[in-house]
Amino acid sequence: MKATEKLKNLIENELLPDLEAEIDALFAKIDQSKQASAQDKSDLEELREMRTECFAIIEEIGRDEMEESEAQELLDELVEIKTEDN
């Protein structure tokens, strides 16, 4: 399997669902407290930016504009981050 395919699968099957869950949890927290703290707003913005970046990577792969070497670097970084989080 090519690095671009692996990267796309990782993003679609693991990262995006995790980001969506975090965003939903943050919205639930904000809804429960009826207001968003500065930290909540910052966290939400960061999560949304990460989600946008994931979609941009998927689009780039879909247009066949990403080099395999670049995909492998991103894949290695994301796997390392994901491993550290567990």
pLDDT for 86 equals: 64
pTM comes to 0.86
- Residue by residue, pLDDT tens for the chain (86 residues) are 899 999 999 999 999 999 999 999 998 988 888 887 889 889 999 999 999 999 999 999 999 999 999 999 999 999 898 888 76
Helix/strand/coil (H, E, C) string of the chain? CCHHHHHHHHHHHHHHHHHHHHHHHHHHHHHHHCCCCHHHHHHHHHHHHHHHHHHHHHHHHHCCCCCHHHHHHHHHHHHHHHHHHC
How far are the Cα atoms of 4, 20, 22, 44, 77 from residue 73, in angstroms, in the given order?
Answer: 10, 24, 25, 26, 6
pLDDT for 51 equals: 96
